[in-house]
Amino acid sequence: MRTVTFSNDEAAKSINNLFLSTWKNRRPGFHDCEVGTERGIFNGAYDCYATVNFCTFFATPDLEVLHYCSGYYSPRIFLREVEFVRELAAAALDERNRFKKGGVEAYRRLHEANRQKRLEERKKVASMTPPKGGADQDFFSRREFLAEGLLHLSQVHRDLALRSAERGQPVQLSEVMRTYLFGNSFSEEEVNRRK
């Protein structure tokens, strides 16, 4: 994210205009110096690589989660998620970025609508066929990782919609940071610990 998406001029401008950005190492002391995965993502030109070790959270000043995505997302996909957060904020928050009356219902409704959109996109991506003349292995990897990333986003939208509906309020960032959804079954910390 740092070397591609957050370095993209359009993404950086959107983030700087709409958000106050902060960084937190979710596991103090963890530092993954293995650059092979990052190099593979960059060289493979992946649109998504949903993983556990990096998560972007969008929250209100009261630390209520508007949305999040785990792993790498290309500028094109990430900017679409930023636009979703902007639309959600316009529908659910007041001028002080606090939830307004009816805001939690708008939050739930928009998350559910976007869950459906991501599932429809995933179905289309999963059925994509190689271009005429064939495709190398990268085509299949890119298709698989994009489908996985879209599934991850649909699961995040579903989780936030359900939790907000159950409670009548958005989910707190502290809770989501402990229990957030991610797109793969391994933890980079565990992989490094076994080495």
pLDDT higher than threshold 60 for residue 156: yes
The better pLDDT of the pair 10, 18 is held by 10
Top mean pLDDT of 34-43, 44-53, 85-94, 138-147 is at: 85-94
Report how far apart, in Å, the C-alpha atoms of 41 and of each of 31, 106, 148 are: 18, 35, 14
pTM above 0.75, yes or no: yes
pLDDT higher than threshold 50 for residue 188: no
Q: If we measure between CA atoms, which residue out of 74, 107, 102 comes closest to residue 89?
A: 107
Contact 74, 5 (CB under 8 A): yes
Contact 55, 68 (CB under 8 A): yes
